[in-house]
Chains A and B, each alone.
Chain A
Amino acid sequence: MSEISIIGDNITSPLGWTTKKNFASLSQGVTGLKRHYSKSLDLFHNSGIIEISQSEDLFTELGNAENFTKLEMNSILSIKNALDIADIDPTGKDVLFVFSTTKGNIDLLKHSAKAKVPRKRRFLQNMAKAITSFFGNKIKPILISNACISGVVAIITAQRILKVGDYKHIIVIACDEVTDFTLSGFNSLKALSQEPCLPFDAKRKGINLGDACGTIILSAEKKGYPIEIAGGASTNDANHISGPSRDGEGMIRAIQQSLLGTDVSEIDFVSAHGTATLFNDEMEAKALKSMNLHEVPTNSFKGYWGHTLGAAGVIECIASYHSILENTLVGSIGFSNQGTTDPVNIIRKSNKKTINAVLKTASGFGGCNASIIFKKKAI
């Protein structure tokens, strides 16, 4: 069995168009979230939004912006940048795209959507095809839409598929954006905070949403970053469709399954899902406590990007293993006072520290949980 490497990545968010730019903002405690107003919902919200004019400006060098939605342009820009780093040919028959998105081009349901974009691109696979054809790739992509664990599942899936041996490289692309559709829904569930989100804090009131695309290129052939994916798994709570289990049992099993081959004491950083809803953070804290991980430095990246849904798993994984590469523990924005029954060791301010193994967790509607472990490769 060949070793799987990460050979390129990109984070596209209001904090910037590259991983480097995004990580610099994280290290400095700069958030991409701002107050916005939705006219059609008459709702103020604190979200991370990439202005479409910026996407169009950058995209003009690559193609005709009229033919693509903002989400597609941002995805293409993200993939392009990751490909430049990885230096591989995306047209190869041994190159597969794996997509992660929850709502894709849901904004195409609006009458005001771009006239030149065919409405059939509201179907996720048609959006995916528009993107893979842009890069001249003819292989049928795999598309994962598994709520908020989609991104983590996409990386685990890509790693597993590479092990089978049919492909040399897999381009994992994850994307979602802030829409009136998702704002209205989370607001109706009373899960949306109009103020900056406060993961794990006593005063947390709910999530913020954010635009983001993330790309990770995995390879069975080339050597890339000195990082390995040491384990990963998904589970279901079998308990409730829109709320996490109270005892965190499903999350605990997801962590246990991804720890096969890693001793829990090796984990020196946890990047939690930390959405800043009452129930999610409470459940995660319970799960970390019962795994004896509650003293390990932990953060949530949601205070920087908001909840980016299908993109969250991928951009947060990228930030997690770059924390290893940069020897930096990124502080969790919005945390002042412990707000969970079981206390967690939340990182208050970014600081330098050697990190060897990070655990990333995610959970979502439908009772799903996922976790993945990245480790520094032994040289």
Chain B
Amino acid sequence: MICIKQSSFLNDKHLQVGKKLNINSSRVEMVEALKEIYQGLNVSYPKFFKMDKMSKSAFLAAEGLMSCCNTLVEKEKIGVFLMNKSASLDTDENYFEKTFTPGEIKPNPALFVYTLPNIMLGELSIRHGFKGEQAMWIGDQFDVQNLVNYVTLLFEEQRINGAIVGWVEFYRGVQNVFLSWVERISDNPEAFAEFTSKNVESIYNKINRV
């Protein structure tokens, strides 16, 4: 059976992982709030400070999520499937402004690298060692039905045994992150919800209203 073992949610001041973890920030400035949540997680990962804001957001939500999930799935069989609305436009616009302001062409290679939305998949993969299938989808809304169908097929074909599936949106200071850890399990004593589009949608809607 393929189950949703845990979900995490992050907005500009608040990281929540089920009933297991709750970190709030009092900072108004986005970068400061992200930093405070990072400190609240008690991790040391200097690469965090080099990331753009969207990757930072994805990192924090995944960090909280994976700290609450003990998984034995082999890394080669873990997939990452994310979706968002604005691709990497927040960083694209930042890069564009810095590079093409008249009189000062100074392209910053460290920033340019983040002008691709799948870089955050790379960041999560490096941090957690995820090495399996991956996809970055773009759409107006979280296309739960198509994405869940797609990921389920990969489970059925035995290509993956675990996956992070979610929505990581970041544009002009508006942030919305929802990640689920999904795993194939043989028995289900803890009564985890089955990985269906209906269940993913209901968890996503519930935590989005908090």
Contacts and interface: CB of A to CB of B under 8 A. Distances in A.
B133 interface: yes
Interface residues of A, number: 54
A250 B122 CA distance: 12
Given A125-B85, A253-B131, A368-B122, A238 B75 contact: yes
Q: How large is the interface on B (under 10, 10 to 19, 20 to 34, 35 or more residues)?
A: 35 or more
Nearest to B51: A241
Interface string A198-240: 0000000000000000000000000000000000011111111
Nearest to B112: A185
Contact of B143 (A140, A235, A366): A140
Contacts of B130: 236, 238
B155 to A, nearest CB: 12
B122 A367 contact: yes
Provide the main secondary structure of the chain A interface: mixed
Nearest to A163: B153
B170 interface: no
B132 A235 contact: yes
A186 B132 CA distance: 27
B135 A41 contact: no
B134 A234 contact: yes
A115 interface: no
Contacts of B150: 157, 160-161
B137 to A, nearest CB: 6
A122 interface: yes
Nearest to B121: A366
B197 interface: no
A146 B136 contact: yes
Contact of A234 (B85, B109, B133, B153): B133
Contacts of B133: 233-235
A185 B121 CA distance: 20
Nearest to A110: B100
B131 A142 contact: no
A40 B100 CA distance: 8
Contact of A146 (B108, B129, B135, B139): B135
A215 to B, nearest CB: 19
17 contacts: A40-B100, A40-B105, A123-B86, A125-B138, A125-B139, A143-B139, A145-B116, A146-B135, A180-B100, A181-B99, A189-B109, A234-B135, A236-B80, A237-B131, A238-B125, A366-B118, A366-B121
